[in-house]
């Protein structure tokens, strides 16, 4: 997995940094519109999943095992689910803040709703 911009600076300073890691996404309802969502995940404003291509399609009742979509951070970091749109601005499904103080608490799950959708995100803060 490539190092994301900003991580290299943290690693050069020799600090052990926590990572926010998204493990799984489950779709209960897609965004407004027809068909499946063209989903991607961004952490601190940078796309971290899917690793190749602009998006991965997901429909109602489906889940995606993300596996390794992570980023080092200090303090807090914003994680977002987005719906890719080729002809206009991408639609924000929802965001949440991960906290360094959650390190070691294990996997958490959150519901994100936006643009008519409902998703559950499974994530954890790890070393």
Q: How many whole angstroms separate alpha carbon 99 and alpha carbon 102? A: 5
> Can you tell me which residue has the tokens 């407004």?
32
Asked whether the beta carbons of 64 and 36 are under 8 A apart, the reply is no
What is the dihedral angle through the alpha carbons of 36, 27, 81, 83, rounded to the nearest 10 degrees?
10
pLDDT in tens, 53-111: 999 999 999 999 998 899 999 999 999 999 998 888 999 999 999 999 999 999 999 99
State the pTM of this model: 0.86
Q: Is 16's pLDDT higher than 90? A: no
Homologous superfamily in CATH for domain 7-126: C2 domain (2.60.40.150)
Asked whether the beta carbons of 100 and 74 are under 8 A apart, the reply is yes
Q: What pLDDT score was predicted for residue 1? A: 43
Summarize the confidence of residues 31-58 as an average pLDDT: 94
Which two tokens mark 35? 């068909």
What residues does each domain of the chain span? 7-126
Q: How many whole angstroms separate alpha carbon 25 and alpha carbon 43? A: 14
State how far Cα 1 lies from the chain centre.
15
Q: What pLDDT score was predicted for residue 86? A: 85
- Give the chain's mean pLDDT: 89
């Amino acid at each position: 997995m490539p190092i994301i911009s900003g991580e290299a600076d943290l690693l050069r300073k020799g600090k052990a940094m926590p990572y926010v890691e998204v493990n799984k996404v489950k779709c209960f309802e897609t965004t407004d519109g027809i068909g499946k969502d063209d989903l991607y995940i961004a952490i601190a404003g940078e796309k971290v999943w899917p690793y190749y291509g602009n998006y991965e399609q997901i429909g109602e009742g489906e889940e995606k095992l993300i596996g390794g979509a992570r980023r080092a951070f200090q303090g807090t970091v914003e994680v977002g689910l987005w719906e890719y749109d080729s002809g206009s601005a991408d639609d924000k499904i929802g965001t949440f803040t991960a906290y360094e103080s959650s390190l070691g608490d294990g996997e958490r799950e959150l519901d994100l709703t936006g643009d008519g959708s409902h998703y559950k995100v499974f994530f954890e803060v790890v070393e």
